[in-house]
Amino acid sequence: MATAYKAGVGDGACLFGPSPDLMVAAMNTTDYETSKACGAYVLVRAANGKSVTVRITNECPLPCAPGQIDLSEQAFAELADLKLGRLPITWSLVSPSTVGTISIRYKTGSSQHWCAIQAIHHRNPISRLEVRGAGGWRQLPRTAYNYFVSADGSGCGGAIRITDIYGERLTVTGLTVRPNVVQPTQVQFARH
Protein backbone atom coordinates (compact mmCIF):
# COMPACT_ATOMS: atom_id res chain seq x y z
CA MET A 1 0.00 0.00 0.00
CA ALA A 2 1.18 3.52 -0.77
CA THR A 3 0.04 6.68 0.97
CA ALA A 4 1.22 10.28 0.55
CA TYR A 5 2.72 12.92 2.83
CA LYS A 6 3.93 16.51 2.51
CA ALA A 7 7.70 16.03 2.18
CA GLY A 8 8.66 19.68 2.52
CA VAL A 9 12.24 19.95 1.25
CA GLY A 10 12.62 16.15 1.21
CA ASP A 11 14.57 15.82 4.45
CA GLY A 12 13.45 13.34 7.11
CA ALA A 13 14.58 10.92 9.80
CA CYS A 14 17.62 9.92 7.68
CA LEU A 15 19.02 13.48 8.13
CA PHE A 16 20.30 13.77 4.56
CA GLY A 17 19.15 17.39 4.33
CA PRO A 18 17.12 18.90 1.49
CA SER A 19 16.62 16.57 -1.47
CA PRO A 20 17.64 17.68 -4.97
CA ASP A 21 14.24 16.42 -6.10
CA LEU A 22 11.14 15.39 -4.20
CA MET A 23 11.02 11.82 -5.48
CA VAL A 24 11.40 10.65 -1.88
CA ALA A 25 9.51 8.37 0.49
CA ALA A 26 9.16 7.26 4.09
CA MET A 27 9.59 3.54 4.75
CA ASN A 28 7.43 1.71 7.30
CA THR A 29 9.16 1.04 10.62
CA THR A 30 9.57 -2.72 9.99
CA ASP A 31 11.36 -2.28 6.66
CA TYR A 32 13.12 0.92 7.81
CA GLU A 33 15.09 -1.26 10.27
CA THR A 34 16.36 1.54 12.54
CA SER A 35 17.72 3.55 9.54
CA LYS A 36 19.11 0.64 7.45
CA ALA A 37 16.72 1.65 4.63
CA CYS A 38 18.08 5.22 4.52
CA GLY A 39 19.24 6.14 1.04
CA ALA A 40 17.79 3.02 -0.60
CA TYR A 41 16.24 3.50 -4.03
CA VAL A 42 12.89 1.79 -4.41
CA LEU A 43 10.89 1.16 -7.58
CA VAL A 44 7.20 1.52 -6.72
CA ARG A 45 4.70 -0.08 -9.13
CA ALA A 46 0.99 0.63 -9.07
CA ALA A 47 -1.65 -1.78 -10.36
CA ASN A 48 -2.48 0.75 -13.11
CA GLY A 49 0.92 0.06 -14.71
CA LYS A 50 2.58 3.32 -13.66
CA SER A 51 5.81 3.31 -11.67
CA VAL A 52 8.16 5.73 -9.94
CA THR A 53 11.61 5.40 -8.37
CA VAL A 54 12.02 7.09 -4.98
CA ARG A 55 14.84 7.46 -2.45
CA ILE A 56 14.11 6.56 1.18
CA THR A 57 14.76 9.66 3.32
CA ASN A 58 12.28 9.17 6.15
CA GLU A 59 10.53 6.69 8.44
CA CYS A 60 6.77 6.16 8.42
CA PRO A 61 5.81 5.13 11.97
CA LEU A 62 2.64 3.27 12.94
CA PRO A 63 -0.02 3.11 11.61
CA CYS A 64 2.19 2.46 8.56
CA ALA A 65 2.02 -1.29 8.15
CA PRO A 66 4.89 -3.59 7.13
CA GLY A 67 5.33 -3.30 3.35
CA GLN A 68 3.72 0.15 3.21
CA ILE A 69 5.51 3.17 1.73
CA ASP A 70 4.51 6.77 2.39
CA LEU A 71 5.39 8.63 -0.81
CA SER A 72 5.99 12.34 -1.14
CA GLU A 73 2.91 13.95 -2.68
CA GLN A 74 5.03 14.57 -5.80
CA ALA A 75 5.92 10.87 -6.14
CA PHE A 76 2.37 9.70 -5.38
CA ALA A 77 1.07 12.06 -8.10
CA GLU A 78 3.27 10.20 -10.63
CA LEU A 79 1.20 7.07 -9.94
CA ALA A 80 -2.33 8.34 -9.30
CA ASP A 81 -4.46 11.30 -8.26
CA LEU A 82 -3.61 12.46 -4.74
CA LYS A 83 -7.34 12.39 -3.88
CA LEU A 84 -7.18 8.58 -3.82
CA GLY A 85 -5.17 8.76 -0.59
CA ARG A 86 -4.19 5.08 -0.66
CA LEU A 87 -2.98 3.01 -3.59
CA PRO A 88 -2.22 -0.72 -3.89
CA ILE A 89 1.42 -1.09 -4.95
CA THR A 90 4.39 -3.41 -5.00
CA TRP A 91 7.94 -2.21 -4.49
CA SER A 92 11.48 -3.49 -4.88
CA LEU A 93 15.03 -2.24 -4.34
CA VAL A 94 16.83 -0.89 -7.40
CA SER A 95 20.35 0.37 -8.18
CA PRO A 96 19.85 3.46 -10.36
CA SER A 97 22.39 4.43 -13.01
CA THR A 98 21.75 8.15 -12.50
CA VAL A 99 23.59 8.48 -9.19
CA GLY A 100 26.95 10.30 -9.00
CA THR A 101 29.55 9.45 -6.38
CA ILE A 102 29.16 8.92 -2.64
CA SER A 103 29.74 11.82 -0.25
CA ILE A 104 30.68 11.67 3.43
CA ARG A 105 29.50 14.01 6.18
CA TYR A 106 30.75 14.22 9.76
CA LYS A 107 27.98 15.22 12.17
CA THR A 108 28.03 18.59 13.90
CA GLY A 109 30.14 18.24 17.04
CA SER A 110 32.52 15.67 15.51
CA SER A 111 36.22 15.92 16.37
CA GLN A 112 39.25 13.65 16.77
CA HIS A 113 37.75 12.56 20.13
CA TRP A 114 34.19 11.67 19.03
CA CYS A 115 32.67 11.49 15.59
CA ALA A 116 29.55 10.44 13.76
CA ILE A 117 29.87 9.65 10.05
CA GLN A 118 27.17 9.56 7.39
CA ALA A 119 27.36 8.34 3.79
CA ILE A 120 25.19 10.20 1.27
CA HIS A 121 24.21 9.48 -2.37
CA HIS A 122 25.04 5.78 -2.21
CA ARG A 123 23.49 3.68 -4.98
CA ASN A 124 22.77 0.68 -2.72
CA PRO A 125 21.79 0.47 0.95
CA ILE A 126 24.72 0.41 3.35
CA SER A 127 25.16 -2.58 5.63
CA ARG A 128 28.25 -1.41 7.54
CA LEU A 129 30.71 1.44 7.94
CA GLU A 130 34.17 0.91 9.37
CA VAL A 131 37.05 3.20 10.27
CA ARG A 132 40.73 2.33 10.33
CA GLY A 133 42.39 2.98 13.65
CA ALA A 134 45.61 1.85 15.29
CA GLY A 135 44.29 -1.72 15.65
CA GLY A 136 42.96 -2.05 12.09
CA TRP A 137 39.39 -1.81 10.77
CA ARG A 138 36.64 -1.30 13.33
CA GLN A 139 32.90 -1.46 12.56
CA LEU A 140 30.92 1.49 13.94
CA PRO A 141 27.39 1.11 15.33
CA ARG A 142 24.62 2.75 13.30
CA THR A 143 22.19 5.09 15.02
CA ALA A 144 18.46 5.55 14.44
CA TYR A 145 19.35 8.96 12.97
CA ASN A 146 21.51 7.38 10.21
CA TYR A 147 25.03 8.15 11.43
CA PHE A 148 27.75 5.68 12.40
CA VAL A 149 29.36 6.68 15.71
CA SER A 150 32.90 6.35 17.04
CA ALA A 151 32.24 7.21 20.69
CA ASP A 152 35.93 7.15 21.68
CA GLY A 153 37.21 8.93 18.55
CA SER A 154 39.02 5.87 17.22
CA GLY A 155 39.45 6.28 13.46
CA CYS A 156 37.93 9.78 13.31
CA GLY A 157 39.52 11.53 10.33
CA GLY A 158 41.14 8.37 9.02
CA ALA A 159 40.22 5.94 6.26
CA ILE A 160 36.57 4.88 6.00
CA ARG A 161 35.32 1.60 4.55
CA ILE A 162 31.69 1.32 3.46
CA THR A 163 30.00 -1.99 2.60
CA ASP A 164 26.68 -2.28 0.76
CA ILE A 165 24.03 -4.97 1.25
CA TYR A 166 25.55 -6.94 -1.66
CA GLY A 167 28.94 -7.16 0.08
CA GLU A 168 30.85 -4.65 -2.07
CA ARG A 169 33.40 -2.70 -0.02
CA LEU A 170 34.60 0.78 -0.89
CA THR A 171 37.45 2.58 0.87
CA VAL A 172 37.56 6.35 1.22
CA THR A 173 40.77 8.13 2.21
CA GLY A 174 41.95 11.72 2.38
CA LEU A 175 38.96 13.19 4.23
CA THR A 176 39.36 15.19 7.41
CA VAL A 177 36.89 15.78 10.23
CA ARG A 178 34.93 18.78 8.95
CA PRO A 179 31.64 18.87 10.88
CA ASN A 180 28.47 19.35 8.81
CA VAL A 181 30.38 19.61 5.50
CA VAL A 182 29.43 17.27 2.64
CA GLN A 183 32.73 15.94 1.30
CA PRO A 184 32.65 14.27 -2.13
CA THR A 185 34.51 11.04 -2.84
CA GLN A 186 35.49 9.33 -6.09
CA VAL A 187 33.69 6.04 -5.33
CA GLN A 188 30.26 4.49 -5.91
CA PHE A 189 28.80 0.99 -5.57
CA ALA A 190 28.16 -1.16 -8.65
CA ARG A 191 24.63 -1.56 -10.02
CA HIS A 192 22.63 -4.69 -9.10
Residue 4 has pLDDT above 90, yes or no: yes
Mean pLDDT value across the chain:
95
**What is the predicted pLDDT for the residue at 94?**
96
> Where are the strands (E) in 88-186, listed by range?
89-94, 103-106, 115-120, 126-133, 136-139, 148-150, 160-164, 169-172, 182-184
Residue type, 122: H
**What is the predicted pLDDT for the residue at 25?**
98
Contacts by residues 92-95 (CB-CB < 8 Å, ≥ 24 positions apart): 92/42, 92/43, 93/40, 93/41, 93/42, 93/43, 93/124, 93/125, 94/41, 94/42, 94/43, 94/53, 95/41, 95/123, 95/124, 95/189, 95/190, 95/191, 95/192
**What is the predicted pLDDT for the residue at 87?**
95
CA 140, CA 128: separation in Å to the nearest integer? 8
Q: Does residue 65 contact residue 89 with C-beta atoms inside 8 Å?
A: no
Residue 99 has pLDDT above 90, yes or no: no
Mean pLDDT along residues 146-153: 96
Residue 82 has pLDDT above 90, yes or no: yes
Q: For residue range 115-144, list pLDDT tens digits in order.
A: 999 999 999 999 999 999 888 999 999 999
Q: For residue range 39-63, list pLDDT tens digits in order.
A: 999 999 999 999 999 999 999 998 9
Mean pLDDT along residues 180-184: 96
CA 95 to chain centre: 13
The rounded percent of the chain whose pLDDT value lies above 90 is: 94
pLDDT confidence band for 184 (50 / 70 / 90): very high
Nearest to 120 by CA among 72, 34, 181: 181
Continuous segment of H or E residues that includes residue 76:
helix 73-79
Cis peptide, bond prior to residue 63, ω within 30 of zero? yes
CA 104, CA 180: separation in Å to the nearest integer? 10
What's the Rg (C-alpha) of the chain? 17
Phi-psi region of 109 (alpha: psi -120 to 50; beta: other; left: phi over 0): left
Residue 12 has pLDDT above 90, yes or no: yes
Residue 191 has pLDDT above 90, yes or no: yes
Q: For residue range 18-32, list pLDDT tens digits in order.
A: 998 999 999 999 999
